[in-house]
Each structure stands twice: as structure tokens, then as C-alpha cells.
Chain A
Amino acid sequence: DAKTTQPTSMDCAEGRAANLPCNHSTISGNEYVYWYRQIHSQGPQYIIHGLKNNETNEMASLIITEDRKSSTLILPHATLRDTAVYYCIVGYYDMRFGAGTRLTVKP
């Protein structure tokens, strides 16, 4: 089974920030937190990853709690094209996806 739990679905208004939570209470010391998204049946698209520190790139920000047991993906200004299933994954080499969060961005 996946090592993460995420809400099944979330809605967000277009132009607002989307904050997607993920719990990974059994994460171990060297395991990174990765976020991907999948639009329709395309292959998952990498968004961002981190170990301990918060990370930011052109797509999103990743906030990891100090105890590393949870994280939040932030899409700062969600657009309709951000509607997708978002997956949070924790692992070393054994990389298991859970069911993800279906984010719907509404006009």
C-alpha cells in the first residue's frame, strides 16, 4: 500500500491558491516527498519534490512540516488547466501511488 493519505477530492476557484494536503506519518529519514499530477489518462507529470526544506519552482510550492509527517502542495494561482488528479508519493526506491486528490478548478 501507498505510504500517503490524501483527501479524495477538492475544489478551488480559478485564480485562487489551491492547497493540497498529504499525510505521510511513516516517512523515514532518507525518503523524499514527491508530487505528481495526472490529466485524463496521460502519464503522470512531475511537479516538485523535497526532503526537509520547503521548495518552490515555476509550477508550485511544497511545504513540509518540521516532523516531516505531512506536507502541502500549493498552486499559487490555480487555472482551469490545473484540474487534474494530484498524487503525493513518499519512498526510497519502492514508489507507490495512492488514489490521489482530484482537484477541480472552477470558473
Chain B
Amino acid sequence: NAGVTQTPKFQVLKTGQSMTLQCAQDMNHNSMYWYRQDPGMGLRLIYYSASEGTTDKGEVPNGYNVSRLNKREFSLRLESAAPSQTSVYFCASRGGYNSPLHFGNGTRLTVT
């Protein structure tokens, strides 16, 4: 049982490049989330999808877009990467509002 799988694990981009971070879960969860964590800081919510077909902004959505491709997959896109987006990105999923988040292992992104 893989849980929440994030790809890639590491990525280096140049300023202005674009990329998509992939997240997939195999727990039949309804809700999925994207967070970023800067060094020494707590996690900040970028976007979330409460259920298939819906997405909502979190605390720090600027510079990102998301797609809930199907119930299993929730991708995060950086259209024009900036050094300020250097961070560790975590994807999470949960069954519903009364169940806990399950996290992936993270994607470490560096933008130069």
C-alpha cells in the first residue's frame, strides 16, 4: 500500500521555467492538499481539493495552479518559477473533514 506518492523527489529549476509536481493517493480519499515548507518554518497551505471536481485557494496560492485530475491525482503547477518558490512541497490526502491528513514524502524544489 503506497499511500501518498509524490514525484519527483528533487528538482532544480531556473527562474522562469515551468514544471508540474505530481501527487497520487491509493486510499480512495476524497480530499487532497498541497503545502509548502520553507526552512525553519511551518507548513503553509497552497491549494486544496475538498472533493473531486473542486479546488480552493489556501494561504499562499499566488504563483501556483492546481488540477484535480481524478479522485486519485492532484497536481501542482508552477508556470514561471521564482527563487521565492524554493521550498519543500508536501502533498496530503484525507477521507473527509473528520479524518486525518496522510502526507507524502515531499518534493524538494530549488529555483536558481
Q: Taking A41-B106, A43-B106 as contacts, is the C-beta distance between A97 and B44 under 8 angstroms?
A: yes
A98 beta carbon closer than 8 Å to chain B:
yes
Residues of chain B at the chain A interface (Cβ within 8 Å): 31, 33, 35, 37, 41-45, 48, 50, 56, 58-59, 88, 90, 92, 97-98, 100-106
Contact A93 B103 (CB under 8 A): no
- Cα–Cα, bound, A36→B88 (Å): 18
Contact B98 A32 (CB under 8 A): yes
Ranked nearest first, the 4 interchain pairs of A and B with the lowest CB-CB distance are: A43-B103, A97-B43, A46-B100, A93-B50
Interface of A is mostly: loop
Residues of chain A at the chain B interface (Cβ within 8 Å): 1-2, 30, 32, 34, 36, 41-46, 49, 51, 85, 87, 92-100
Q: B87 → chain A, closest Cβ, in Å?
A: 11
Contact B100 A49 (CB under 8 A): yes
Q: A16 → chain B, closest Cβ, in Å?
A: 26
Contact A36 B48 (CB under 8 A): no
Q: List the B side residues contacting A45 at CB < 8 Å.
A: 103
- Cα–Cα, bound, A85→B41 (Å): 10
Contact B106 A93 (CB under 8 A): no
Q: List the A side residues contacting B41 at CB < 8 Å.
A: 99
Contact A96 B103 (CB under 8 A): no
Give me 17 other A-B pairs in contact (C-beta within 8 A), A44-B101, A96-B59 excluded: A2-B42, A32-B98, A34-B101, A36-B101, A41-B106, A43-B92, A46-B101, A49-B100, A51-B98, A85-B42, A93-B56, A93-B97, A94-B56, A95-B101, A96-B58, A97-B45, A98-B42
Q: List the B side residues contacting A42 at CB < 8 Å.
A: 105-106
- Cα–Cα, bound, A94→B46 (Å): 10
- Cα–Cα, bound, A100→B43 (Å): 9
Of all chain A residues, which has the CB nearest B49? A93
- Cα–Cα, bound, A1→B92 (Å): 19
Contact A100 B59 (CB under 8 A): no
Q: A51 → chain B, closest Cβ, in Å?
A: 7
